[in-house]
Amino acid sequence: MEPPFIGKVALVTGAAAGIGRASALAFAREGAKVVVADVNVEGGEETIALCRALNTDAMFVRCDVSQRDEVERLIALAVDTFGRIDFAHNNAGIEGVQAMLADYPEEVWDRVIEINLKGVWLCMKYEIRHMLKQGGGAIVNTSSVAGLAGSRGVSAYVASKHGIVGITKAAALEYARNGIRVNAICPGTIHTAMIDRFTQGDPQLLAQFAEGEPIGRLGSPEEVANAVIWLCSDKASFVTGATLAVDGGRLA
């Protein structure tokens, strides 16, 4: 049977590693052509090599999603190369630093908001403009369980991820009758480089993170990618404006 996304094009930001890379590879397995975007050129090139090994076309574009000109160029290159953008996973993000709110560095706050929230807005701005021309599409934004509940010491990250939930709902309502579905995924503790930075290689601390999940383990990037694929598929055709927690039961 032919893969369901044959003839479709998927764009994934923050795809040099972790959830973004897993998402790009999941789209490739489903038959889509994949546009990989990231500021990490080496990691991005590795991702497209892995996509091509799955017998699909893939291209890499270096892009800082906080910069309007770079995002506009990304969308233009994707359309010029593949003719369309059917699916977009706006995943690029950073965690900032760990500090109490009153001590949080202003320059780090600004950078977290610029990449995590403004970056999602800019990507949607240009993705939606093209999707309106082609008659529809599906967008998934990466928020977090920190976008649905508070967390100490990471106020900029929490604010940005709550903002993603809000802008996802607003966009879903604005474009629901244009054939464009917009949803958000809210990962829990997923074993990525971000978690490794938090734990600093301490196996006991990593075990504590795992123990804090009701399911008793950390999630994998591939499990999050599976949720992205479902939200983009026809199986989720009546789903828009949703926030899907992929968190092993943590918020429950």
Q: Residues with catalytic annotation?
A: 157
Burial degree of 142 (CB within 10 A; 0-12, 13-18, 19+)? buried
Q: How far apart are CA 98 and CA 86, in angstroms?
A: 37
Q: How far apart are CA 32 and CA 4, in angstroms?
A: 8
Residue 105 has φ and ψ, to the nearest 5°, of: -70, 130
Burial profile 34-52: b = 16 or more Cβ within 10 angstroms, e = fewer? bbbbbbbeebbebbbebbe
Identify any residues that bridge with 140 across adjacent strands, giving them in sequence order: 89, 183
Burial degree of 243 (CB within 10 A; 0-12, 13-18, 19+)? middle
